[in-house]
Amino acid sequence: MKFKSLLAKPFASIVSSKIRKEMQRAVEDQDAILEDLVKTGRNTDFGKEHNFDAIHTYNEFKAAVPIRDYEQFKPYINKIKEGRHHVLWKGQPIYLAKTSGTTSGIKYIPISKESISNHIDTARNALLYYMSETGNSSFADGKMIFLSGSPELERIAGVPTGRLSGIVNHHVPRYLRTNQLPSYETNCIEDWETKLDQIVEETINQDMTLISGIPPWVQMYFDRLIARSGKPVGELFKNLDLLVYGGVNFEPYRAKLMESIGRPIHTIETFPASEGFIAFQDVQGGEGLLLNTNSGIFFEFVPAQEIFNEKPTRLSLKEVELGVNYALIINSNAGLWGYNIGDTVKFVSLNPYRIVVTGRIKHFISAFGEHVIGEEVEHSLMKAAGEEQVRITEFTVAPMVQTNGELPYHEWFVEFETMPADLATFAARVDENLRQKNIYYDDLLTGNILQPLKIRPVRRQGFIDYMKSIGKLGGQNKVPRLSNDRTFAEQLMQYLQ
């Protein structure tokens, strides 16, 4: 065992012991966090406007602080961008995390002196807990790559501003700097394909032991390594034994990634967001991610079907139930209050509290009242793919309403790594899977309101070419699984086979 892995073992044991204790007192920690947040927030503009002095209970907090999304929160962010202090949290943020979705504009999320540890320590804890659980610490002695955005930061009203992954890059511990790839200069390259070529150049002859990133962009990296070397990634990097990922459901990408590696390796799923590091996988082979209940965030949960109601039901951690689809609301020591981050989750365990991410609030189809969500389409497609030994590269789904006299339907744009033997039969399998998963969709087909779904094969690398065309290639960008309109779908039409 080498030096760094040897030192990491006792540290991992200490951290994992702490986390296990926190699992048992999650509700108490959440209550304490809310109390501390309100106490600190009383002297901010937001706290004064929302009468924080009179808040002593969670019910009083809910009555005083409405749920908001970014657009509703934007006036407070604009004050921070103008240089105002004590707007949402004491003083000024130490960073603004700049983020944008595939279909939305730029957002600026505050990170405070108190909240930065949530991002840094949780990433560290996920690795240390894995070490403690599996006994594997050897990856600490090799090279590690984090496929991320540029660490170059601009300033807005004196506040350093940039992509979260770039901000985090500035906080990599000194003892890991010698392990980290790519170089700072390469990380600063904005064009993703140019950057990827340089990353391949810098890593192809290194002893890579850990690779981290969003799955589709990790796959692009793997494809270029294989094209350059003619070898599977696992043969090229003989000591590679850990893949860390987040941002999207891994299952659509798992088979191709593992084939590219050429052998099984361990994986760790994480749930980081610009608003906070929400959860991480604590058990290899287990279902769900451990909710980060003692890291400066007070969580609320709204039944997903109520999120657009004027007064939706709001639940604290101790009130949640298994198997219910919730919109995730956070209140944090970065100064986010009643903030709807746009993700939906479902609890798969209440002891400890573990979640799975089921989709995005705005990524659904309910053109006819069916409210199909990301979890359902991913399950339906991947089950059919598994049954027919079909490989999926990427996909998205949209409603087709204008059909020239036909019944409307769901239109699936799918890029296949391996095509089904019979596309119509495959589409029928997917459709049947979705009918079993969503009773409202089934009712619409039974009642002849909808016809069965249709699949449009997208040409090889079509999604990559499209994302490149809109400047969303690489980094933290993701393809939306579902849309309730046809904006994304119409733009994809030119990339069909």
Query: Could you read off the pLDDT of 179-189 as tens digits, one per residue?
Result: 889 999 999 99
Instruction: Name the more confident of 473 and 153.
Output: 153
> How confident is the model over 270-290, as a mean pLDDT?
94
The token pair that represents 333 in the structure block: 């020591």
CB-based contacts of 31, cutoff 8 Å, min separation 6? 58
Which residues of 317-390 form beta strands (DSSP E)? 325-332, 339-350, 353-360, 364-365, 372-373
| Among 332, 219, 210, CA closest to 270 | 210
DSSP 131: H
Angular region, 36: left φ>0, alpha ψ -120 to 50, beta rest = alpha
- Mean pLDDT, residues 284-309 taken together: 93
CA atoms within 13 A on the CB side of 486: 10
Pairing of strands 372-373, 297-303: unpaired
Please give the pLDDT value at position 362.
74
Residues 6+ apart with CB under 8 A from 163: 97, 98, 99, 148, 149, 150, 475, 476
Could you report the per-residue pLDDT of 19-45, keeping only the tens digit for each? Answer: 999 999 999 999 999 999 999 999 999
CB 233 within 8 A of CB 240: yes
Confidence of residue 3 (pLDDT cuts 50, 70, 90): low
State the average pLDDT for the chain.
91
Residue 90: per-residue pLDDT: 97
**Using an 8 Å Cβ cutoff, are 132 and 16 in contact?**
yes
Kindly report whether the peptide bond that precedes residue 312 is cis, defined as omega within 30 degrees of 0. Answer: no
Q: What is the DSSP string of 422-491?
A: -HHHHHHHHHHHHHHH-HHHHHHHHTTSSPPPEEEEBPTTHHHHHHHHTT--STT----SB-SSSHHHHH
pLDDT, one tens digit per residue, over 365-381 is 878 878 888 888 999 99
Q: What distance in Å separates the CA atoms of residue 132 and residue 60, rounded to the nearest whole number?
A: 41
> For position 459, what pLDDT does the model report?
95
**Which of 269, 246, 272 lies closest to 115, judged by CA?**
272
The predicted pLDDT at position 231 comes to 96
Q: Return the percent helix, strand and coil in the chain, to nearest 5.
A: 40, 25, 35
Cα separation, 41 vs 262, in Å, equals 52
**What pLDDT, on a 0 to 100 scale, did the predictor assign at position 103?**
45
pLDDT > 90? residue 484 = no
Rounded to 5 degrees, what angle do the CA atoms 220, 224, 225 make? 115
Taking each helix axis from N to C terminus, what angle separates 462-469 and 215-229, rounded to the nearest 10 degrees?
Answer: 110
pLDDT value at 401 more than 90: no
Reported residue count of the chain is 497
Distance CA 141, CA 127 (A): 13
Taking residues 394-403, report their average pLDDT. 88
What confidence tens digit (pLDDT) does each residue in 422-446 have? Answer: 999 999 999 999 999 888 899 889 9
pLDDT of residue 1 exceeding 60: no
How far apart are the C-alpha atoms of 167 and 161, rounded to whole Å? 8
Among 116-125, 339-348, 416-425, 463-472, name the one with the lowest average pLDDT.
Answer: 463-472
Which comes out higher in pLDDT, residue 171 or 79? Answer: 79
| 219 pLDDT more than 50 | yes
Per-position DSSP letters for 269-337, written without gaps between them: EEEEETTEEEEE--STT-SSEEE-TTSSEEEEEEEGGGTTSSS---B-GGG--BT-EEEEEEEETTS--
Whether the full predicted model's pTM is greater than 0.85, yes or no, is no
- Condensed to tens digits (0 to 9), the pLDDT of residues 126-178 reads 999 999 999 998 888 899 998 888 899 999 999 999 999 889 988 887 777 78
Q: What's the pLDDT band for 104 if we cut at 50, 70, 90?
A: low
Rounded distance between C-alpha atoms, residue 192 and residue 214, angstroms: 13
Q: Is residue 7 within 8 Å of 272, Cβ to Cβ?
A: no
Nearest to 27 by CA among 248, 351, 346, 322: 351
